[in-house]
Each structure stands twice: as structure tokens, then as C-alpha cells.
Structure 1
Amino acid sequence: MTARSHLPQRILIYGVYGAGKSTLALELSRRLGLPWQPVDELTWEPGWKEVPMPVQRDRIAAVCRKKSWILDGAYKDWMDIPLASADLVIGLDFARGLTLRRLLRRTARLVSTGEVICNGNRETLGSVLSSESIILWHFASFGRKRRRMRGWAVHSPGPQVLLFSTPAELDSWLDTLSPVSPVRPPR
């Protein structure tokens, strides 16, 4: 996939919380010149109010109708939409210890800095300690997401699937891609 004309134009990045989906989406956007659409911007309103699922599906479908895009995740209730139009699925199948350490480090930073995540939302100590904590979601979804990615790697749901089990494998693949002009993510 080094020839520019053969590079994917519609990429879904999939993995557990803390795997680095958004970081990879930003890097791929920079290297490939493709627009990155952060999924959280489409699925969460201010005050951490979840967008109703029919609206989420409409928003994701609108993105997926475009000629090119990068999505940094997929929820099970609308995963069928990007899978139907993606050229490439990148699975970040990293070890639980690595992803949990990354998630804890990121969450601690976000809580301490008050950095906005999406649509004015911020992580707080209260949100981290709640029953809706992203850390609890990590534990609840890790096995399911891992099985799903590994299943796709064996029997693709349509698009090509690249499964990376270590950051070093991912970095080696990224090194094969030549950067193009920088693209800024929507904010």
C-alpha cells in the first residue's frame, strides 16, 4: 500500500479504550491527507448526554457517504455502517496491561488539566469514579472487542483488515506510509 493511488480512502480504526485509536487517526490523517472524524464528537452532546442512537446512525452514515474519512472507533449499534463502506479496518489488538496503563495515564492527565474532550465535555474525578467510568468500560469491553477484531482478521466483514498486536508492529507499518500535507482534525 505504498503507491498513493492504492492507499485506502475510508479507514475504520477499532480497539479498546486506551489502545490509541484517536492518536492513530490523527497520524493517519497527517500522513495520508484524509479527514479524521472523531467519533466522540458525533455520539456525545454537552454534559455527557449520549446522542440518541437513530441520530448517531444518521451522523455516521453522513460521514461514511463521503469519498474519504477516518473514524476512530465504532459502536456496535452502528458498526455496520462504516464496515459497509470502509476500504480498511485497522485493529489495535494490544495487551490489556498496555491499554489499561495508557488509559489510566490519559485519564489522570485529562482530570488534572480539565482538557475538553468533545463538545465541551471533560473527564472529572466524579466521572472516573462513577458507574459510567471509561475505566470500567475498558474492563467490560476488552474481551468482546478483542474477539471481534480477531474474528475480522480471520473472516473479514468486507474491507481489508490489518490487526496489530504491538505498537512496534503498528509503527513499522506506519513507516511504510509517506506523509502528505497536514490535515487538522475538526474541533
Structure 2
Amino acid sequence: MASVPGRIVVYGVTGSGKTTLAGKLAQRTGLPCHSVDDDLAWQPGWLPVPDDEQRRRITALVAGERWIIDGMFAKWRDIALPRAELIVALDYPRWVSLSRLVRRTVVRCVTRRRICNGNVETLRGMVSGDSIIVWHFRSFARKRRTIRGWAADPGVPVVRLTSPRATEHWLMSIDGP
């Protein structure tokens, strides 16, 4: 069994399962888990938290010695990355992340499940120009390049996982609290 350090970023393309993995990793390790979307990025009404406030919040969060965050935005990566002791990178093929994202989004639209500080996904939002599915296409290649760059020359240790099976195998190898 392997132990993990106390400050972990779970990073991946939109829809790869960052939040789910971060939660499972928190359960396994006892580390506190923080949702980037809930804690940093979104206010009710799908209003984005202003950038300066996001930077203030992430500065306070990563000042701690024990945490997991389920993503890392470019606008505050310069704050979080130097404090991270491990990056767990979900580098799945597009079909995996996109199929998960579409399925998750459709279910949330139908069930009206509240997410991101009480917000609700809608069918109209799902097909709009700024939908999360469009964002997946806009950001996929850039996020994969980032992951592969970190893996090739890590300033922080990187666990690059290329399939859900590899992710489950890695997670099961982690020591519990």
C-alpha cells in the first residue's frame, strides 16, 4: 500500500471525474476535500465568483497543510501549484470524459439536482454556446497538454492515470487513515 502526501490536486479534462475521485481519495485518506466549483468558482444564479475573490479564497485554502482540491484554474494556478505535493491527473480519451459529461449533464437537467451553490443545469444551458459540453471541446486539448507537460517534467510529482480502471487500481493502492 502507498501513502500520499497531505496536499493533492486532482486535475483532468471536463467530465473526467475529478470531483468523484477527489471525494473517494478524501474518504480513503482522511484529507479534507474542497470542490473548486462549490468553494471557489460559482455563486447562486450561475454568477461567477470574481477572479480576485477566487484568488483570495484559494490562497486561504492552500495555506493549510492538508487538503485535496478537485481542479485547478489557470487564473490561480500560480497560487495552488507551488503548495501542491501531488497532482493526480486524469488523462482519459475524449470518449470517456465526454460520455460521462453528457450522461451527468442530462441526468442533472432531468432531476434538477442542485449543484455549485444551489445552481441547476437546464436543457437550454446544455445546448447554449457557453455550456459545459462546449467548454469540454474548447479546453480538452489544452488540459491534456498541461497534464502531459507536468508528467514529462514534473515540478510536483504527477500520477497520470489514463483509464478509469487504472484510476480504481491506483485508488485501491492508497493507504487509509
Instruction: Name whichever structure is richer in helix by fraction.
Output: 2
Q: CA RMSD in A?
A: 1.1
With structure 1 as the length reference, what TM-score do the two structures score? Answer: 0.91
Q: Note the C-alpha offset of 1:130.
A: 1.4
Kindly, what percent of the aligned residue pairs are identical?
Answer: 47
Q: Note the C-alpha offset of 1:122.
A: 1.0
Q: Structure 1 counterpart of 2:170, which letter?
A: W
With structure 2 as the length reference, what TM-score do the two structures score? Answer: 0.96
Secondary structure in 2 aligned to 1:62?
Answer: helix
Partner of 1:17: 14
Q: Structure 2 counterpart of 1:104, which letter?
A: V
Q: Note the C-alpha offset of 1:82.
A: 1.3
1:138 to 131, 136, 139: 136
Q: Distance in 2 between matches of 1:81 and 1:107?
A: 30
Q: Note the C-alpha offset of 1:118.
A: 1.4
Secondary structure in 1 aligned to 2:75?
Answer: coil
List per-residue Cα deviations over 1:60-118 (Å, max 9, x = no partner).
11110011111101111111111110010011000001110000000011001000111
Secondary structure in 1 aligned to 2:68?
Answer: strand
Q: Structure 1 counterpart of 2:171, which letter?
A: L
Q: What pairs up with 1:169-184 in 2 under 5 angstroms?
A: 169-180=166-177
Partner of 1:33: 30
Secondary structure in 2 aligned to 1:177?
Answer: coil
Matched, 1:95 2:84: no
Q: Distance in 2 between matches of 1:88 and 1:131?
A: 34
1:150 to 148, 151, 158: 148
Partner of 1:2: 2
Q: Structure 1 counterpart of 2:21, which letter?
A: L
Q: Structure 1 counterpart of 2:108, which letter?
A: L
Partner of 1:166: 163
Q: Distance in 1 between matches of 2:2 and 2:99?
A: 33
Gaps in structure 2 of 5+ consecutive residues: none
Q: Distance in 1 between matches of 2:168 and 2:59?
A: 30
Q: Structure 1 counterpart of 2:105, which letter?
A: T
2:110 to 112, 136, 141: 112
